[in-house]
Amino acid sequence: MAGEQSFKAVINDTKPSAKGRSFSVEITGSNFNHFLGKKIGDSVEGMFVGEGESSLNGYKLQITGGSDKTGRPMRSELEGGNVKSILITAGTGYKGKRYVKKNSKIYRYKYDGLRRRRNLRGNTISTDTRQLNLKVLEYGKKSLGSILGDEEDVPIETTSNEEE
C-alpha cells in the first residue's frame, strides 16, 4: 500500500446505562504495530486506542472480532491470520439460510444441518485486517463519550434537578 497502515476500531460500551452504544476510532502509526499478532480474546490497554487527548487511558479492552480488507470476518476457531476455506453451519461468517424461488416469489428457509464452504480469516490480527471489534472490560475515569468528543462531560446531578 502507498499510504500508512490503519485499523478502524469499533469500541462497544458494555455499561447498561450506555444501552449498547459503540464508538469508531482510527488506529494508526505505532499503535497499529501494537495490535499486530494479537488474537481474538486477548485484552489490550486503552492507551493504544486513539491519539493524544482522545486516547483511552485507564481503559482495558478485549478483542472480540474483526474483518479484513475484503470484508471477510475473522473466526475465533481458525488459527493464524490467513484466509481458510472451511465447511461451516450457521455462525460467524454464515447465517445458515437458503433462498428458494417458487411461483415467481423468493422464500427463505432455514434447514437443520445446512452447511456451506466459506472463506474466512483466522483469529490473528495481520496487516490485511481493516476493522477490529473491541469490548470494554475496565473503565477509566472519564466516560467514552466525553473522551471521543461525542458528548460533554456533565455531572449527573445537574440533569436530574429539573423539579426545583
What is the maximal distance between C-alpha atoms in the chain?
66
Are 129 and 74 contacting, i.e. CB atoms less than 8 angstroms apart? yes
Sequence-distant (≥ 6) Cβ neighbours of residue 92 within 8 angstroms:
65, 73, 75, 76, 120
- pLDDT tens digits for 54-105? 788 888 999 999 999 899 999 888 898 899 998 888 877 778 788 899 999 9
- pLDDT tens string 121-164: 999 999 999 999 999 998 888 888 778 766 655 443 334 444 44
Q: Does the pTM of the predicted model rise above 0.85?
A: no
| C-alpha pair distances (Å), 160 with each of 15, 89, 155, 157 | 20, 49, 10, 5
What does the alpha-carbon distance between residue 36 and residue 56 come to, in Å, rounded to a whole number? 19
